[in-house]
Structure formats: structure tokens, C-alpha cells
Amino acid sequence: MHRAALLFLLSIVGLLAPGAVMAQVKRCTAADGTLVYTDRKCDDIGATERVGAMPSAGGAIAGRYRNVCARTVQDLVYSFSNALQSGDANQVAGVYDWAGMPTSTAYNVMTRLEAIAKRPLIDVQPMYSGDTNAYGDDIVTFDETTGEVVTRAPRKPRLIGLRVEQTLANGTTPSRTNFGLRQRLGCWWVRL
């Protein structure tokens, strides 16, 4: 009975000191320049050790924290363009609005984002709605009752999305993808 109590106390002490049991996480730079976190030696995976902010035992990153939320549409366009230029679907997913999406739909969206991220980027352009034609000219109509040409003063254009201009893998075939915009929790996000 005395031995069971001792084992019970030792197990509680082990639970109270999780830092002693956890493996040390190393931050390494791979040969291609990507950041890799591992519990092994950096040399074992063909990388070099990288000095910088490391996750603490509580899971938070020590040092400076940068909020990546796009508070303005300009910030969103900048973040979105950089994510597309990186070719990394995970960075593109970082500016995507996933709220309320079922898992099966999210897998399909991620597959589409991977394909989009692989294409060479030409430009990201805002899309507006308003009283203009495709060339940005004012809408001109003909009033049949009076026989006069009527030009309406254009309304203030309203931003409705972002158009991504890319080329396919062959480098010449154009590809265009339109993303909608959503503002949620004070941040701007893209949606397909």
C-alpha cells in the first residue's frame, strides 16, 4: 500500500513539471531557405540552426508578435499578392475567410487555392460595381420619349472583390480568378 501511494505522488509530480518532460524544439533553416521546427538536431535533417524567437513552453511565441489581420483593403491586397507570389497555398489560406465552412468544402477550397498558388502571378486588381461599362466609361442611354441622349452621373463605385490575373503553367495562357471580399471581426478576407 505504501508503494502505491509513492507511485501516485511521483505521477502527480510528473504532471506538475511538464517542462522537464517536453523535448526541446529547434528552429532550423533548410537548404532551400524554408523554416523547419524539429526536436532533432538540425544537422540530422540537412539544415542549419537558426537563432530567433522560439515557442515557449506555454505555446506562445517569445519576442515580438505581429498581427497579420488585414485591417484595410490595401493591406489585404498586399498580403494576398505576397501570398500568391510565394507560391505557398498555406499563405494564401491565411487571408481566406474559412468561417462557417464545412470540412468537405474546406478541402475542396484548399485544393483550388493550391492550384491558384502554383500559377505565376501577373497582378491583383480590385473589382468595383457602379454605373460604368467594362471600360470605365459613364453609362449613356437614349430616352425614346424625348429623343435625347441621357448621361447619368456615375455613382461612387463600390468595391466588390479582387481579380487575380495569372498565367497557367505554360507561361502564356491567361488565367483569371475572381475573389469576393468579406469584412469580419474588423478584418478583410477573400472568398471564392
Nearest to 43 by CA among 29, 25, 54, 55: 29
> Which grid coordinates are listed for 7?
507511485
49-86: pLDDT as tens digits: 865 444 444 444 444 444 468 899 899 999 999 999 99
**pLDDT score for 15:** 53
- Amino acid at site 161: G
Residue bearing the bigger pLDDT, 15 or 161: 161
**Mean pLDDT within 93-104:** 92
pLDDT band at 132 (very low <50, low <70, confident <90, very high): low
Percent of the chain with pLDDT over 70: 68
Which CATH number is 70-192's, of 2.60.40, 3.10.450, 1.10.150, 3.30.2450? 3.10.450
pLDDT band at 137 (very low <50, low <70, confident <90, very high): low
Residue bearing the bigger pLDDT, 158 or 117: 117
- Average pLDDT taken over every residue of the chain: 77
**pLDDT score for 5:** 55
CB 90 within 8 A of CB 116: no
Contacts of 50 (CB under 8 A, 6+ apart): 27, 28, 29, 35, 42
Residue intervals in the chain for CATH 3.10.450: 70-192
> Which grid coordinates are listed for 115?
492550384
28-53: pLDDT as tens digits: 777 777 777 778 888 888 888 865 44
- How many Å apart are CA 114 and CA 107, to the nearest integer? 11
Beta bridge partner(s), residue 174: 167
